[in-house]
Amino acid sequence: MKIWGFKGKTAEERGTEEAAGEPLDAELRQALGDFRLAVHAWSEAALSRPRPALARRHRPAWRLAAAWTCSAILVAAGVSGGGFYQHRQEQIKQVAAAQARQAEQQRVVAVRRVQAREEEDLLAKVDSDVSREVPVAMEPLARLMDEGE
């Protein structure tokens, strides 16, 4: 395996070979030196280039105050809107209860009328069952009573 021209040797092996007097290839030494110089040049250029300062936008104080005011108004409207909703629901309940009471009163009145009519019919039936016709012998007396009225 050939990595950077090192023929698969580890760093320790290369260090021992160089220490033993075996120099690295001149071509490899030149490539590494060029790479090192390029990295240093790029770093120097990156550090020395002019960078634009980010301008911070300042909001006017009245915008912040207006935002807080609008927020407060929205919260107040939400809270009072809930009160209006509850009040309306209470009104609806009261109207429904009044209608239920009125319907119950009408039902009671209708039941009383039916009962009164039934009582009158029953009394009329009892009256007709109990009453007798005037016997023939008493008829002249009955006519006298009718004429006297």
Q: What is the pLDDT along the chain (149 residues), one digit of tens a residue?
A: 344 554 555 656 665 555 555 566 888 889 999 999 999 999 999 888 888 777 777 767 888 888 899 999 998 888 777 777 888 889 999 999 999 999 999 999 999 999 999 999 998 888 887 776 656 677 777 777 777 65
Rounded CA gap, 107 and 102, in Å?
9
Consecutive H or E run containing 32: helix 26-48
CA–CA separation, 57 and 48 (whole Å): 27
DSSP 52: P
Q: What share of the chain is helix, strand, coil (3-state, %, to 5)?
A: 75, 0, 25
Distance CA 95, CA 106 (A): 16
**Backbone dihedral region of 9: left (phi > 0), alpha (psi from -120 to 50 degrees) or beta?**
beta
Give residue 50's pLDDT. Answer: 85
Residue 4 · residue 27 · CB < 8 Å:
no
Both tokens assigned to 71: 């927020």
3-class SS at 94? helix
pTM: 0.35
Q: What is the predicted pLDDT for the residue at 107? A: 95
Residue-range domain boundaries for the chain = 11-48, 88-130
